[in-house]
Chains A and B, each alone.
Chain A
């Protein structure tokens, strides 16, 4: 079972780029969030990043910080986030789900217990922002051993010397962070990102997906021309913050997906 690899193979066969959407699990509450999650594949989302809320998200801007707080205030936790994946999997067995967040809730839950449960409920991959290659023995290697993809971030500060270490235990895809900075603040430029992607592609056969700072269908389309996929997070979460209905959030998601799939 390798939903992420299968997804990229299928997209490649159709000469299409991947659209990856981020939402925070439990934002604004469990039921609303679950309904949105369920609707993402039909809106054109190829891969789902499901945010695991944390009180101190060091790499996130205000939009995702607040989403995490809304989720925590509504009673979301790690257990319920895994439950949400299980609920999703009872209806959908193809769309990959990646848990994205910070290490402490997982460490607190217990790494082994978390990994076996995540595997069991149908999680495909992990993006844990505060675990660089230097800390691979904490979660990356155990995740790999149990058959979960550990997707690493490569950033503008990842130079030639570091890139091999960053790529070494990465699987599924490489997530290129388009800007130095936090989520949802600056705008990414495809002209700046394009040479960086070529640089990474020289070192790996994995797909390279770009995220951070992509907010509109137009920007998503431009970025999809130079990458294997595009992630949008804060722009979607912002709609939820404004109290928009799931129907209207999904309409926005659909417009983003169409942008990416037109590239």
Chain B
């Protein structure tokens, strides 16, 4: 694999699901036949034009793609440096990029005749997207969500219930995304016959990291075309927030081999990336390990026990990161940085006030980093960030953080 990769950053994973040393298939024997079956089905679907025709139709008429590429005039003036663009994936049906991937996986589930869909969710956006597409296709939907996240993303819990999904709060661990993923995997090994596990990010055992990346790559492909139309060239810098890393992989992937494009992933810095581990910056503050079916960078202690991490943003609150990011980090192609809760909150407000866009807390991290680099760059430098979700789900969390009283009675 290494030989090929000298020429391209887009050929991974290899046949054993590895991106360099990362990725793989670290699952129990019970699940192994299931992920091999899924891999086979995905390989067939990938080259089936009918599959992509159906995807394109749903993307256009159900999700509302292509999402706009928007020039942020006031943010650009505010920082008085680089030109700032946003890829508006928050305008998708259900309010985030998550549905791009869910549609692909549910169409696969239909091909495989699986009638029961399970998913894990952190911010609830993947859960909402899954519940939505299941409602559309008449499939049973069960969503695992950490009990702590159920609390801080309450609007999304209600949304999922309205859409007919069963939401199961997970109390093990600290009750966040990692724990939800454990319980979803436990459900899957128990219900092997009829159940399809719809993973929400570019993590998990092969083929999930590859498959989710491919479905999310629509973001980067559209950005490439739209930027060419609006600016006549590729952007100079891409910026995206990283939980597991799916919106980031989606934006980055089509640009990986264009080495003139500088690429930056933004991890959640929580209270600050220090030895207290009150953050979720797996690449900045973690080291390689094996969890949830793949080898990647993880927050862990000296004994290889997984740490809980901390972030104000439920969608970024995960102690790992997709294996392809781990590899892009080690190969140096992508630069990974972190942004604290406080910085993200400031950018959240700035985006509301200057652009009339209420962003999710996740892309607020990306915007905060844009705010750090834009002033130092020339006015002909083009930055494109992924506005991967809208902030409706976060208003209670933000109100609390800003000591704003939401009781209007």
Contacts and interface: CB of A to CB of B under 8 A. Distances in A.
A78 B185 CA distance: 25
B34 interface: yes
Q: Which secondary structure characterizes the binding site on chain B?
A: mixed
A232 B31 CA distance: 22
A166 interface: yes
B16 interface: yes
Interface stretch (B22-30, B137-145, B338-346): B22-30
Contact of A104 (B172, B185, B291, B302): B291
Interface in B126-149: none
A182 B189 contact: yes
Nearest to B171: A62
B304 A104 contact: yes
A261 B290 CA distance: 39
B5 interface: no
A181 interface: yes
Interface in A159-182: 159, 162, 166, 177, 180-182
Contacts of A186: 190
Interface centre among B25, B186, B303, B304 (most CB of A within 10 A): B303
B289 A104 contact: yes
Contacts of B289: 104, 107-108
A65 B185 CA distance: 14
A153 B25 CA distance: 16
A55 B306 contact: yes
A59 interface: yes
A159 B306 CA distance: 33
Interface of B: 16, 24-34, 172-173, 178, 182, 185-186, 189-192, 289-293, 295, 298, 300, 302-306
Given A58-B28, A157-B30, A180-B189, 6 more contacts: A77-B305, A107-B295, A109-B303, A109-B304, A158-B29, A181-B190
27 contacts: A54-B304, A55-B306, A56-B291, A56-B306, A58-B189, A59-B189, A65-B172, A77-B303, A77-B305, A78-B304, A104-B300, A105-B304, A106-B304, A107-B304, A108-B304, A130-B26, A130-B28, A130-B293, A131-B26, A132-B32, A156-B30, A156-B192, A157-B32, A157-B192, A159-B33, A180-B189, A181-B186
